[in-house]
Structure 1
Amino acid sequence: MRVLQLIDSLNAGGAERVAVNYASVLASRLEGSYLCATREEGLLMESISKDVGYLFLNKRKTIDLAAIKRLNTFLKQNNIDVIHAHATSFFLATLIKILNPNLVLVWHDHYGNSEFLESRPRYVLKKCSKWFNHIITVNAKLESWAIANLSTASVTYLPNFAQVDSNEPQTILKGVFGKRIVCLANLRPQKDHLNLLKAFQLVLKKHADWTLHLVGKDFQDHYASRIKGYISKNNLKQSAFIYGSCSDIHHVLNQSDIGVLASQSEGLPVSLLEYGLSKLPVVATDVGDCHKVISTEEEGLLVEPKHSEALAQAITAYIENAELRNVAAENLNAKVLSEFSETGVIDALITIYNSNKP
């Protein structure tokens, strides 16, 4: 079997990491594993296995005939059986499926605003879903939504998994060793960095030597400007730092002491699993499927979204109790290794591919 992972970009986001992880792991499990970035390359180029066949389309518009032709030619030249389209790449995948009716099309829904599904645009997606052979979702809410709203008979919730990268260390975090809080999240409104900064201000009142490190793509937009403005206005430039995207995530996390997510909405965040693999104690908001990763206080602390006081209290609890955070870090690491492992997810994924073959 030959499978192509289709993704719009290779920026360091959750869906992008999953696509790259799948392509790299499947290279040793299938006859052929391929990856296509449709619109933009990025940092995750460094993480693609050398055994993965790669194509960059440089797609410039919604219906780009030249890009469609290049992708279609690539599929035929490599005898690809399955196209696994991630997130918004479903539209291009549908056009390809129309041209190749025997191709198996699996769509992977990574929608991050799963707390606000009632306002999700669905018209085009529903039309395209008639062509999907199978839908994979990253949490149970998205699975239920797909069953109720889309036209695909087969839908499966498949949890994300994370891998420890082996990229060359290059990012050096600022601040005092042993007193660093890290947030691994692209600068998007749903990640609610502003709520995290408000909570961090409360933490600083008692623990002024701790620092906050924001790692994730800076889109240079209004939301990013608000974050930078808040840091400047509240005199946090010596305590809160923005790094942009980093390719050496494992190295970044090894320099950190507490992992945090302040999101208003999530699927199942890959960064949460990466914290667990790196043995970090975690404070996160109780959104999406975070509760499936952190199901007890012995595995981490969950708080309400948009509640800076609760977030600050949880972070402070870990700062003031090293034993508490060490126990949580060990337990979360064991949970991630046992329940969100690469082997279990990939076995289930291959079963999905095989069950949809003509």
Structure 2
Amino acid sequence: MRVLQLIQSLEAGGAERIAVNYANGLSEHISFSAMVTTHSEGALKAELNKSVSYMCLQRRSTFDLKALFKLRTFIEKNKIAIVHAHGTSFFIAFLLKIIYPRIRIIWHEHYGGRVEQSLLSNWILFICSRFFESIFVVNLELERWVKETLCFKNVFFIPNFATINEDVIKTTFLQGEVGKRIVLLANLKSPKNHMAILSAFQELQLQRLGWSLHCVGKIYNDRYSDDIKEYISSNKLEGSIFLIDVRNDISHILSQATIGVLVSTAEGFPVSLLEYGLAKLAVLSTNVGYCSEVINEGVNGLLFNPNNPNELECQLSEIIDEPISSRMQFGLNLQKLVGERYSKENIITTLLLHYRRK
């Protein structure tokens, strides 16, 4: 079996990390595993196994014929049978199918906010989907949306999985008091909802109790990140809230933390929850997307409604006030769940079964 993962870039994001995990995981089970980015590279390129063939198309426009034929040449040369397109890369996969009909196209949707959209706003996707063999989704809401809105029957829920990369050099060392560090893994963009956790941190005056908050993710230096920086500065929180740009040593960062948080207003199946689990962190999570299927309230973490600031404050206060032994048990319970349900071995086996389905 010869499979190519197709995605826009390898910037540090959830969909990108899953595409890398798939490419790496499949390289251990199939004869040829490849990764192609349509537009640009990114920090996650360093995490690709040497056994994964890689190429960047450097696509400059929607109908960049040079990039399209470069992709076809790569596929023909390497005798690839399946293109597994992630997220917005579905359109170039559709164009590829037109000029190279023998290829099998699978589209993988990671964006949980899609379920709030109408057919009218997805008419291009609707047309392109007629050329897909299957659609993979990361939660059951998306599965229903694809079936009902796109009128597409061959849709399958495939859980995400996370891995620990022990080979990455440990370069990031968190400030703040040991045992009182909160970490948020999320790029600084909507709908990651950073301002909600900053506001809750400030309202609860957690800095006075010695707690610190570490927001780890891509800083785009746009209005969103500027607003966050302004809030930190105006509330004199520079010594307690830290913005850390993209890092590769995520497992090392999490090993220094006590609580992992996720505050998004929309999610598919966030890889960060699985990474928190592998690190045995107590977790406070938004209840959107697939989050409530991973976080069992009071067993391996706490949940809250991201549109209710008071609920976030109450749950944040509660998880901080929990005895250390209870927080540790949350982390152990989550680690067990991740290992049993969302291991690399289980998900890659499921993926291969669907690849073989025709």
Indicate the TM-score class for this superposition, using the shorter chain for normalisation.
Answer: over 0.9
Matched with 1:171 is 172
Change (3 A) 1:67 1:248: same
- Partners of 1:316 and 1:323 lie apart in 2 by 16
Verify the 8 A CA contact 1:82 1:103 in the aligned structure 2: yes
2:105 maps to a residue whose letter is L
Deviation at 1:224?
Answer: 1.2
Match of 2:326 among 301, 310, 324: 324
Aligned to 1:314: 315
Amino acid across the alignment from 1:52: V
What is the aligned residue count? 356
- Give the equivalent residue in structure 2 for 1:54: 54
Partner Cα distance (2:329, 2:287) in 1? 20
Does 157-166 or 272-281 show the bigger shift? 157-166
> What value does the CA root-mean-square deviation take over the aligned residues?
1.4
The residue identity in structure 2 corresponding to 1:63 is: F
- Partners of 2:160 and 2:208 lie apart in 1 by 34
User: CA contact under 8 A between 1:115 and 1:265: conserved in structure 2?
Assistant: no
Structure 1 residue 147 corresponds to structure 2 residue 186: no
- Preserved CA contact (<8 Å) 1:204 1:210: no
Task: Report the alpha carbon displacement of residue 49 of structure 1 after superposing the two structures with TM.
Answer: 0.5
Counterparts of 1:118-133 in structure 2 under 5 Å? 118=118, 121-133=121-133
CA distance in 2, matches of 1:65, 1:116: 33
Secondary structure at the aligned position of 1:306 is classed as coil
Residue 335 of structure 2 aligns to a residue whose secondary structure is: helix
Distance verdict in 2 for CA 1:74–1:205, change over 3 Å: closer
**Cα distance in 1, alignment partners of residues 307 and 163 from structure 2:** 29
Q: Deviations over 1:259-283 (max 9, x none)?
A: 0011111111000110001100000
Structure 1 spans left out of the alignment, 5+ residues: none
Residue in 1 aligned with 2:195?
Answer: 194
* Cα 1:205–1:218 shift into 2, 3 Å: closer
Q: Does residue 30 of the first structure (1) align with residue 9 of the second (2)?
A: no
State whether residues 86 and 107 of structure 1, in contact with CA within 8 Å, keep that contact through their aligned partners in structure 2.
Answer: yes
Which aligned segments of 4 or more residues in structure 1 are displaced greater than 6 angstroms?
A: none
Once residues 178 and 240 of structure 1 are traced to their aligned partners in structure 2, the CA distance between those partners, rounded to angstroms, is 15
In the TM superposition, residue 314 of structure 1 has moved relative to its aligned partner by: 2.0
Rounded Cα–Cα distance in structure 1 between residues aligned with 2:275 and 2:117:
26
Tell me if structure 2 keeps the 8 A contact 1:182–1:258: yes
**2:297 paired residue number:** 296
Which residue in 2 is equivalent to 1:220? 221
Over residues 63-121 of structure 1, what are the superposed CA-to-partner deviations in whole Å (9 max), with x where a residue is unaligned? 11111111100000000000000000000011111112121100000113256334883
> Which structure 2 segments of 5+ residues have no match?
none
- Contact 2:115–2:145, Cα closer than 8 Å, also in 1: no
Residue 96, structure 1, aligned to residue 108, structure 2: no
Q: Contact conserved, 1:191 with 1:263, CA < 8 A, in 2?
A: yes
TM-score by length of 2: 0.96
Amino acid of the residue matched to residue 203 of structure 1? L
Between the aligned partners of 2:350 and 2:291, the Cα distance in structure 1 is 21
Q: How does 1:244-259 map to 2 (within 5 A)?
A: 244-259=245-260
Cα pair 2:115 2:142 within 8 Å, conserved: no
Measure the CA separation in 2 of the matches of 1:325 and 1:127.
Answer: 48
Q: C-alpha distance in 1, partners of 2:356/2:119?
A: 34
Checking the alignment, whether the CA contact within 8 Å between 2:112 and 2:142 is kept in structure 1 is no
How much has 1:173 moved relative to structure 2? 1.1
Alignment check: 8 A CA contact 1:114 1:141 kept = no
Q: Could you tell me which residue of structure 1 aligns to residue 345 of structure 2?
A: 343
Could you tell me which residue of structure 1 aligns to residue 136 of structure 2? 136
- The 3-state SS of whatever aligns with 1:107 is strand
Q: Residues 242, 154 of structure 1: CA spacing in aligned structure 2 closer, same or farther, 3 A cutoff?
A: same
Shift of the 185–316 alpha-carbon distance from structure 1 to 2, 3 Å rule, reads same
For 1:145-169, what per-residue CA distance to the aligned partner results, in whole angstroms no more than 9, with x for missing partners?
1011225330001111111123111
Contact residue 305 and residue 311 of structure 2 kept, 8 A: yes
Percent identical across equivalent pairs?
A: 43
SS of structure 2 residue aligned to 1:50: coil
| Residue of structure 2 in register with 1:260 after alignment | 261
- TM-aligned CA deviation for residue 175 of structure 1: 1.1
| Corresponding residue number in structure 1 for 2:181 | 180
Q: Which residue of 2 aligns with 1:112?
A: 112
Give the conservation status (yes or no) of the 8 Å contact 2:10–2:41.
yes
Shift of 1:141: 0.7
TM-score, length-normalised on structure 1? 0.96
Q: Distance in 2 between matches of 1:299 and 1:117?
A: 32
C-alpha contact (below 8 Å) 2:7/2:38 kept by paired residues = yes
SS at structure 1 position matched to 2:176: coil
Which amino acid in the other structure matches residue 54 of structure 1? Y
Q: Structure 1 residues 282 and 70, CA, compared in 2 at 3 Å: closer, same or farther?
A: same
Quick one: distance in 1 between partners of 2:120 and 2:310?
Answer: 30
